[in-house]
Chain A
Amino acid sequence: MSKLFTQSTIINVGLSSFAEAVVQTGGQAEQVEWTPPAAGDRDVGLALARLVKNPAVDAATEQSHQRYLQSQPVLVGIGTAGKDIPNMGERMLLHAGPPIDWPDMCGPVQGAIVGAILYERWANTPEDARKLAASGKIAFAPCHHHAAVGPMAGVISPSMPVWIVENTDGGNRAYSNMNEGLGKVLRFGANNKEVLDRLDWLQAVLGPALQKTVQKLGPLEMKPLIAQALHMGDECHNRNAAASSLLFRKLVPAALQTDVPADQLRSALGFIAGNDHFFLNLSMATCKAMLDAAHGVKGSAMVTVMARNGVKFGVRMSGTGDAWFQADALPVDGLYFPSYGPEDAAKDLGDSAITETAGIGGFAMAAAPAIVQFVGGTPADAVANTLAMTNITVGRNNAFTLPALNFTGTPAGIDARKVLDTNIMPIINTGIAHKEAGVGQIGAGITRAPLDCFSAAIKTLAASLQ
């Protein structure tokens, strides 16, 4: 007998009065809160419909998700960007987000580029640095093109010390720079003497001290550390207080066994101890290592990169290779520090959305109720945000469990089809940068990945399968 004739729930899309009539006559109906997918682009909508429950896409997406789940990110050392990051040229600067040319870069990224040129001694004055940047003699490339990630402006130059995280399951490595703390810092576009001095110090003191410490410590598995931090109120994007402390607890005993001179060790450990966000860059490199493992499965609709360059929001998907799918970044819904307002804000910026892509950050907001005070919400809102994200992910990551949700895993592995089909935009916890270089962070809040990126991704995926 046809399945149609077994009494069960009717799913209603469209006129809600039809669902009400069904319920009135004793049936069951579920009303879908429907809005046209892909902002009403009929062709993309049809392309999406063909991909829903498509066996090949389902299998490929599942395969990439498995690779992500099986990845074993391990901190293996501290390196130097120019030496360790693959294909990093001598006069190359990496930046956050999708590719962008010098003239188009936003204020904070230009400021950071100028700072990096001065730091590398390629120029002596900010004016000369700008000229050099505009001259075409410096190569600019997204961090993501080099297995790297950087928060905010995300500028990485050859001399900088970098974290090296290896996925021991797949053998791929990922890199990120060192976190400089808050205030006047390169990642917000500042490039004065204080900033450059700190960069020199990172290179001369912190880098070598950490390098010896990590060597003494041996490979450090990152998943258990992040899992523990989630149980302590972090989501490892906008809140890293617990993870930074846990890392510090690992580092100190090893550091004390190295031959790093005591004064250097004191200032290095003091710096780490004073920076609640010290772990952020390591968190990002870990996420990058996990997601690169999932990248490159033909036909997969799993998102492997979400990143912003201050002008555009860019997305890459496992099944569509090197292509970036870009849209204008959305404004941040958040709270501003006193004397700043929305008109001062730069557009959404940074590679740090790699954390959300990997199922932590905003996706694990239920673990970090304190985060919601940025938007005047309640802990219930934090849980609701995480629950909402379960509707757009391939599955959950049981390595990262959430106490508030009875220890279920975080929603992880964004399925671009589900984003487009539900119009639920991936949520991102983020800081807000001032639009002018060097002012720094002026607030924090929540933003969303624009849907147009996912429309473009699905269109390309559908075309690649025909």
Chain B
Amino acid sequence: MPTFCEVIPREYRDSVALMQLSAALAKMPGVAQASAVMGTENNLSLLRQAGMDIGQVAIGPNDLLIAIQGDEAAAGEALKEAKTRLSSQGAKVDAGGPLEMPPHSIGMALARHEDANLAMISTPGEYATAEALKALNLGLNVMLFSNNVSGADEAMLKRVARDKDLIVMGPDCGTAIINGIPLAFANVVKRGPIGAVGASGTGLQEITVLVDRLGSGISQAIGTGGHDLSAEVGGISMLTGLKYLTDDPETKIITLISKPPAKEIADQILGKARASGKPVVVIFLGADPKAITGGNIHGATTLEDAARIAVALAKGEKPPAANGAATLPAGLPKLAPGQKYIRGLFSGGTFCFQATMLLQSAMDIHSNSAVGKSLPLADMFKSEGNTVVDLGDDVFTRGRPHPMIDYRLRTERIVQEAQDPGMAVLLLDVVLGFGSNADPAAELIPALKKARQIAEKEGRAFICVGHVCGTDGDHQGLAAQSKALAETGMILADSNAQAVRLARDIVAPAK
């Protein structure tokens, strides 16, 4: 198809104007390709490469070239249109109407969207209380991502919310899925009958992801912030969330996630749960599930179990027994003498907590996430014996992004661990979803390769076990990430709990 050109000498436009012009011309009937560019040699050769035969057009870098590929009549029309647009674009600058200014406050935003029902707040902590209070006063629910909000402020905000029949998710609430929309650090999961309220961000992520993978879906997932069930706050948001899910016709099964609260608060929550009339799966991480099971309440030990029970109940099946055993993959390399210890490097706080919880019965475990009889770390930057570390701890995140975003701290530590002849298994979590690193596998792989080289050069085995918390809906892609990681020899489990058990069984085979 022939190409027709028009040269407009000394015509200057910015690139967006020219790209828009090209796009508009290309859409005209009978036009195959259209391009408006400054006449530099590289631009001309680009047009030729794109199959536009512009011949030996006489043009310099300061002239505008409009090239149209199409039949002659259409090209004529397009060139005419181009000139009209160029002359009106120039005039439009002056005649343009005023732009509406973006909202400068929650009140201004609400005036434009009277239907709004939720304010998401992630300002620096010292201003977050005021913004949250304004949102509540204006009748909005609040998701408070900010941290560094005092306990007193949190309690005040939550009381104000309770009086207005609103909820405050947070402070330090990293995850929620409301009406199918993932908020902050959350994963893309199917909608379904299971509602969740969680005081733990990664706990909520793991359960929603596993529910999705087990073929069910999430109605609503409400975060409360980790401090909600403290005596100071009294679980106000957990109670409100429970009430919301009880009243929500879409929610058939309710899941509650928290570390064990004070007895008084636990009693209150379990009382309301019993009265909800819906099956409620409760996981108080680290507490005995049998103590709370009964009636419509189903206790769970691990996040994975909680998801499995919830999905079974949603399908009308009997709740399954706790998942305990792990099957070791075939062909594991033989550990050298002296390779005895697990080294867990976690970006999710709850994953570290659950690992500490599951490992402490089998071995002495050092951790910065205290559970039961776990041992403290003398130096958080150095492992000793069996060690699991939450790299999201304030000690590590001061002045740098969270380890789910910035993998540098973890990749450095992986190499450091590989140099320790005592390490037997490296245990990791990889969290996908909104807010997380765009390509965790690409961040980890060079470090894993290097760690393997170091260990193998010194005659040791290198075993890495981990799990990916994410779905194929997440922009990083579960399948793509898993494949890339598996290719480096990483052993991938379906859940954090299974990864931890695998690691445990490798260093301390079941008797």
Partners in one complex: yes
B-binding residues in A (CB < 8 A): 1-15, 17-19, 21-22, 25-37, 40, 42, 45-46, 48-50, 52-54, 378, 380-381, 383-384, 387-388, 391, 418, 421-424
| Interface size counted on chain B using CB atoms at 8 A | 65
Q: Which of B81-127 contact A (CB under 8 A)?
A: 94-113, 115-124, 126-127
Given the interface pairs A11-B140, A49-B137, the reply to whether A422 lies near B108 with Cβ below 8 Å is yes
Instruction: For the complex formed, measure the closest distance between the CB of A2 and the CB atoms of chain B, giving whole angstroms.
Output: 4
Say if the beta carbon of B181 comes within 8 Å of chain A: yes
Q: Is B179 an interface residue, CB under 8 A from the partner?
A: yes
A13 to B130, CA, bound (A): 12
Q: Are B107 and A384 in contact, CB atoms less than 8 angstroms apart? A: no
B98→A383 contact, CB < 8 A? yes
Interchain CB contact under 8 A, A5 and B181:
no
- Tell me, in angstroms, the Cα distance from A3 to B141 when the chains sit together: 8
Residue from the list B113, B122, B146, B178 in contact with A30, Cβ < 8 A: B113
Chain B residues with Cβ below 8 Å from A383 are 97-98
Nearest 5 CB-CB pairings of A with B: A14-B122, A384-B98, A422-B104, A27-B181, A49-B133
Task: Give, as a whole number of angstroms, the nearest-CB distance from B303 to chain A.
Answer: 23
Q: Contacts A13-B122, A40-B127, A378-B94 known; A52 to B137 CB distance under 8 Å?
A: yes
List residues of chain A with CB within 8 A of the CB of B178. 4-5
Question: Are B181 and A22 in touch, CB under 8 angstroms?
Answer: yes
Distance in Å: Cβ of B208 to nearest Cβ of chain A: 14
**CB-based contact A424/B104 at 8 Å:** yes
Identify which of A11, A48, A53 contacts B118 (C-beta below 8 A).
A11
**Once the chains are docked, how many angstroms separate the CA of A42 from the CA of B112?**
27
Residues of A within 8 A of B115 (CB): 6, 8-9
Bound form: Cα–Cα A423–B181 in Å: 31
**Nearest chain B CB to A10 CB, angstrom units:** 5
| Chain A positions within 8 Å of B492 at CB level | none
Q: Would you call B120 and A18 a contact (CB within 8 A)?
A: yes
The smallest C-beta distance from B142 to any residue of chain A, in angstroms, reads 10
* Given A1-B248, A50-B133, 7 extra CB contacts under 8 A: A5-B250, A8-B118, A13-B106, A49-B134, A52-B107, A54-B137, A418-B107
Report which residue of B106, B249, B434 has the largest number of chain A beta carbons within 10 angstroms of its beta carbon: B106
Q: Which residues of B contact A32 (CB under 8 A)?
A: 102-106, 108-109
Which one, A13, A53, A388, contacts B119 given CB within 8 A? A13
Q: Which residues of chain A are within 8 angstroms of B112 by Cβ–Cβ distance? A: 30
Interface flag for B183 (CB, 8 Å): yes
Report chain A residues within 8 Å CB of B182: 21, 25
Within the complex, the shortest CB–CB distance from A286 to chain B, in Å, comes to: 28
Does any Cβ of A come within 8 Å of B75's Cβ? Answer: no
Q: How many Å lie between the Cα of A25 and that of B113 in the bound state?
A: 19
Chain A residues, CB < 8 A from B141 = 2-4
Write the chain A residue with the least CB distance to B244. A2
Using Cβ atoms and an 8 Å threshold, which residues of chain B touch A422?
104-105, 107-108
The answer to whether B138 and A52 touch across the interface, beta carbons within 8 angstroms, is yes
By CB atoms of chain A within 10 A, which of B96, B99, B109, B129 has the most? B109
Q: Which one, A4, A15, A29, contacts B122 given CB within 8 A? A: A15
* Contact between chains at B129 and A46 (CB < 8 Å): yes
Q: Check B123 against A34 for contact (C-beta < 8 Å).
A: yes
Q: Cβ of A11: which chain B residues have Cβ within 8 Å of it?
A: 106, 109-110, 113, 116, 118-120, 135, 140
A53 contacts across to B, CB distance below 8 A:
134, 137-139
B244 and A49: CB pair below 8 A? no
A37 contacts which chain B residues (CB < 8 A)? Answer: 105, 127, 130
Least CB separation from B119: chain A residue: A11
With a CB–CB cut-off of 8 A, which chain A residues contact B284?
Answer: none
Instruction: Collect the chain A residues with CB atoms within 8 Å of residue B118's CB.
Output: 4, 8, 10-11
- Which of A10, A35, A387 is B116 in contact with, Cβ under 8 Å? A10
* Beta-carbon nearest neighbor of B120 in chain A: A12
Given A30-B112, A391-B104, are A2 and B137 also a contact pair (CB < 8 Å)?
A: no
Residue of B nearest to A22 (CB): B181
Query: For the complex, what is the distance from the CA of A26 to the CA of B191, rounded to whole Å?
Result: 14
Q: How far is the CA of A126 from the CA of B104 in the complex (A)?
A: 51
Chain B residues whose C-beta falls within 8 Å of the C-beta of A7 in the assembled complex: 179
Whether the Cβ atoms of B109 and A8 lie closer than 8 Å is no
Expressed in whole angstroms, the minimum distance between the Cβ of B26 and any Cβ of chain A is 26
B107 engages A33 (CB within 8 Å): no
- The answer on a CB contact under 8 Å between A31 and B127 is no
Bound-state CA distance A35–B104 (Å) is 8
Tell me if B220 counts as interface (CB < 8 A to partner A): yes
Give Cα distance in the complex from A50 to B165, angstroms: 18
- Chain B: CB-nearest residue to A34: B123
Chain B residues with Cβ under 8 A from A381's Cβ? Answer: 98
Contact A380/B96 with A4-B118, A13-B106, A34-B104 known, Cβ cut-off 8 Å: yes
Closest approach, in angstroms, between the C-beta of B421 and any C-beta of chain A? 42
Q: Which residue of A lies closest to B128 (CB)?
A: A14
* B359 interface residue (CB < 8 Å to A): no
Chain B residue nearest to A30 in the complex (CB): B109
A11 to B95, CA, bound (A): 32
Taking CB atoms, residues of chain A closer than 8 Å to B96 are: 380
Known contacts A46-B130, A46-B133, A49-B133; A380 and B123 CB within 8 A of each other = no
29 cross-chain CB contacts under 8 A: A3-B166, A4-B141, A4-B178, A5-B178, A5-B179, A5-B220, A5-B248, A5-B250, A6-B179, A10-B116, A10-B120, A11-B140, A13-B123, A21-B183, A22-B120, A25-B180, A32-B106, A32-B108, A33-B104, A36-B123, A40-B127, A46-B130, A49-B130, A49-B134, A380-B96, A387-B98, A421-B104, A421-B106, A422-B107
Q: A42-B127, A54-B137, A421-B134 are in contact. Are A13 and B121 (CB under 8 A)?
A: yes
The reply to whether B104 and A18 form a contact with Cβ atoms under 8 Å apart is: no
Chain A residues with Cβ below 8 Å from B184 are: 18, 21
Taking a contact as CB atoms closer than 8 A, the residue among B94, B116, B131 that contacts A49 in the complex is B131
At the interface, yes or no: B462 with Cβ under 8 Å from chain A?
A: no
Shortest A272–chain B CB gap in Å is 36
Which of chain A's residues have a CB closer than 8 A to the CB of B289? none
Measured CB to CB, the closest approach of chain B to A189, in angstroms, equals 37
Closest to A2 in B: B244
